[in-house]
Amino acid sequence: MNTFGDKFKLSIFGESHGEGIGVVMDGVPPGIALSEADFEADLARRRSGAKGTTPRKESDKPRILSGVFNGFTTGAPLAVTFTNDNTRSADYSNLVTHPRPSHADWVASKKYKGFQDYRGGGHFSGRLTLTLVTAGVVAKKILGGIQITSKITTLGGVTDEGRFDEVVQRAVKELDSIGGIIECTATGVPVGLGDPFFGSIESVMSHLLFSIPAIKGVEFGNGFAAAALKGSENNDPIISADGTTATNNSGGINGGITNGNPIVVRVAVKPTASIAKEQMSLNTETGQVEPMSVHGRHDACIALRAPVVVEAAVAIALAQF
């Protein structure tokens, strides 16, 4: 489903090469100053342009259709749409019968019985993350004092930020792609957000993070590393009446509930499935496994554009409480 949330509810729509894409946000409190210009900073962070990102350039100009009046949110649903300007649909037509490995091409054909819009990945396109970033801008405004930042900690297996450019360049040259790990931190989080079990911060946040195409892992605080520690090493001693802990191995969450320390979450971004390098895949017309190389315009490293998307997911999650 393409709807998420309770207190701050999103409904997203659109395809990579369709008429337009957008998001409807319900539950936005009245009285928040908002204009189309407010989206630009985060949209720019998501936009392509750097080495390793797709040569497709989109203006990404948001249009507020409803929910803002005289410069402030009204409390009514906030709809923001975008047009798709820079589309080259001819690039994709062969993928219906010769589906890309590890892409949604094949499952989409099966699930939607051939009626799916296959151009540019259609509704499965990473272009839809534009709607998440848009909602993230609004969520951040709703959250007020909470600060959300993110950074790439690993790229193509390299942790030295000084070498990131190098590994990206190599992937581009090899007609291949690379993945990365992004860490996101939220500070200024009040104590008590979240609920036990199905309403845990980890549950709601991971739900949103795994909605981002290409995310294959999510961990909080020490995450997978905690599994190798002892309780005496991993536990965070409480050292102050406001809940401050000496360490933050829990990533700011206990029992599914925020404890006032920074929320720390990391996500694994897999290497982009679409690569120009030759790879094998079944051709459903010939019935043979045949070599293919993906033409069209792609990101050699989608992780470069993902930090702001991850922030958006974190903000949207926190805006539910």
Phi, psi of 201 (to 5 degrees): -55, -40
Q: Which of residues 38-57 bind a copy of itself (CB under 8 A)?
A: none
Q: Which of residues 225-244 bind a copy of itself (CB under 8 A)?
A: 225-241, 243
Q: Output the smallest distance, CB 33 to a copy of itself, in A.
A: 10
Q: Does 2 bind a copy of itself (CB under 8 A)?
A: yes
Q: Does 289 bind a copy of itself (CB under 8 A)?
A: yes
Task: Round to whole Å and give the CA distance between 10 and 123.
Answer: 16
Q: Contacts by 42-46 with C-beta closer than 8 Å and gap 24+?
A: 42/133, 42/136, 42/137, 42/308, 42/311, 42/312, 43/130, 43/133, 43/134, 45/133, 45/305, 45/307, 45/308, 46/129, 46/130, 46/133, 46/305, 46/308, 46/309
Instruction: Kindly tell me which residue out of 54, 150, 185, 281 binds a copy of itself, with binding defined by CB under 8 A.
Output: 281
Determine the interface stretch with a copy of itself among 45-53, 54-62, 137-145, 223-231 (rule: CB under 8 A). 223-231
CB atoms inside a 10 Å sphere around CB 60: 21
Instruction: Kindly tell me which residue out of 39, 54, 56, 116 binds a copy of itself, with binding defined by CB under 8 A.
Output: 116
Cα separations in angstroms, 1 against 5, 126, 162, 244, 277: 11, 16, 40, 38, 33
Q: Does 136 bind a copy of itself (CB under 8 A)?
A: no
Q: Does 102 bind a copy of itself (CB under 8 A)?
A: yes
Q: What character string, x for contact with a copy of itself (CB under 8 A) and - otherwise, covers 153-192?
A: -x-xx-------------x--x-xxxxxx---------xx
Q: Does 96 bind a copy of itself (CB under 8 A)?
A: no
Q: Does 284 bind a copy of itself (CB under 8 A)?
A: yes
